[in-house]
Structure 1
Amino acid sequence: MAFVVLCTGGITFANAAPASNAASHTASKGDKVEFKSSLPVTQEEIAAVDVLGEICPKLIGNNKKFDAGYERLLKDLMPNIDQPVLALKALADDAEYQGKLKEAREDANRASVQDNREVCQDILNYPANSKKTKK
């Protein structure tokens, strides 16, 4: 599962193909924008990061540096989405994504607290100048 990859291999999505221009939308909770099919990564990868956004504040505390790293990571995962955090929230209404999210939560529960904390630290230190976030 994607979360296990995150735990064991670090957070690397360098091989992701670019998203199509159809994905460059600002998604909000009320939008019915269909952007899933144009994402450069799998829903499993996005769900794994979504779960980390849920559990990391509990493991490392609320932290603005984590929030910034989390947003940079989401932007790398969804490079043509104007507001990836809102796009992630828009996926919450999608039944298929909910299944992936449930699996990611189960994976996180199976991982040790230390493994989860290490991945949270990776996000906390996610580079501001990663190749994908450079303009």
Structure 2
Amino acid sequence: MIKTISFRGLVILATAVLLSPALLANSALSPAEANTIIKEDIASIQVMAEMCPAIIGKNAKFDQNIQKLIQAALQDHADKSLNYDQLQTDKEYKSVLNEARTDAKDTPESEQKSVCTDVLDFAG
């Protein structure tokens, strides 16, 4: 399995994927490895969607940006028919989602707030 990186690192990677869809296509990763990274990205985005409203309050722009990040990541998955709801039942996704939740709990509150603010201010 791919080495776990920090919660903020996953958020940065998710943002990079949104800004540069060819990022994973031009890498030396196998399709399975790229799909795992995409699942990790989406899991970190889902964790942000779960925790950020408690940190920065409910915000429609934040919700829109979360959806943009999820959709952008899904577009790079090898299975183009895969959607967010289907992903929720994927065994590997459930595992990386649990890891992302654990990483988020271990992340200092100031860094959590910074990540939430970054997503809120994202101009994608």
Do these two structures clear the TM 0.5 threshold for a shared fold by scoring above it?
yes
Q: Which sits farther off after the overlay, 5-14 or 87-96? A: 5-14
| Structure 1 unpaired stretches of 5+ | 19-35, 129-135
Residue 52 of structure 1 and its aligned partner are, at CA, apart by: 0.8
In the aligned structure 1, how far is the partner of 2:52 from the partner of 2:91? Answer: 24
Aligned position for 1:12: 16
Equivalent residues in 2 for 1:67-106, closer than 5 Å = 67-79=63-75, 87-106=83-102
In the aligned structure 2, how far is the partner of 1:56 from the partner of 1:87? Answer: 23
Aligned position for 2:116: 120
Task: Assess if the C-alpha contact under 8 Å between 1:66 and 1:123 holds in 2.
Answer: yes
In the aligned structure 2, how far is the partner of 1:80 from the partner of 1:7? Answer: 16
Q: Which has the higher helix share?
A: 2
Matched pairs, number = 107
Residue 62 of structure 1 and its aligned partner are, at CA, apart by: 0.7
Residue 93 of structure 1 and its aligned partner are, at CA, apart by: 1.3
Could you tell me the TM-score, scaled by structure 1's length? 0.64
Aligned position for 2:47: 51
In the aligned structure 2, how far is the partner of 1:16 from the partner of 1:49? Answer: 18
SS at match of 1:42: helix
In the aligned structure 1, how far is the partner of 2:12 from the partner of 2:121? Answer: 16
Could you tell me the TM-score, scaled by structure 2's length? 0.69
